[in-house]
Structure 1
Amino acid sequence: MSSYRISDTYDGIDQAMRLLRRSMKGMPERYRYMKHYDELRRAVAVLLILLEEATPWMEETEKAKRATAVAKKMFSAVR
C-alpha cells in the first residue's frame, strides 16, 4: 500500500465525517444522538492519527518488498 492510497483513505474519512456533521445539524432531537456522535468522532480521530503515523512505515515496507524482489531475481540469475 502506498502513501497515496492512505492519503485517499484519509480524505474519504474526512469527507464522511464532514457529511455526518452537516447531517447532525439538521436533525430534530439531535441531543439524543450527540453522545454517540462524540464517541464516533473521538474514535475516528484516533484512527486518523494512527493512519498518519503508519504512512511512512507502509512506504518503507513497499520499498523493502521491491528490494527483496530485485534481490531474488538477481540471486536466481546467478545460480
Structure 2
Amino acid sequence: MSYRVSDTYDGIDQAMRLLRRSMKGMPQRYRYMKQYDDLRRAVAVLVILLEEAAPWLEETDKAKQATTRARKMFDAVR
C-alpha cells in the first residue's frame, strides 16, 4: 500500500510545482496570492496527514494479506 502513498506524494508535488510555475507566469498574480497561499497551507496539512496515515495503511494491507492467507489455509483443511 505504501507505493500508492508515495505515488500520491509525487502527484501532489508535481501539481504544486506546476501551479507555482503557472503563478509566476501570471501578469496580475497578486489578485490570487491569498487563495494560492491558502491552497499551499491546505496541501501541506494534507501531506502531513497522509504521512501520518501511511503506517496504518501498510499495516492494514499486511493484515488483509495475512487474513487471506489464513482463510486459504483454513479452507484447505476443511
Q: CA deviation at 1:48?
A: 0.5
Letter in 2 for 1:47: L
Which residue matches 1:38? 37
Percent pairwise identity: 82
Number of residue pairs aligned between Structure 1 and Structure 2: 78
Output aligned runs, 1:23-62, within 5 Å. Answer: 23-62=22-61
Alpha-carbon RMSD = 0.9
Residue segments in structure 2 that go unaligned for 5+ positions in a row: none
- Scaled by the length of structure 2, the TM-score of the pair is 0.93
Q: Which runs of 4+ in 1 moved over 2 A?
A: none
Residue segments in structure 1 that go unaligned for 5+ positions in a row: none
Q: CA deviation at 1:77?
A: 1.9
Q: CA deviation at 1:78?
A: 2.1
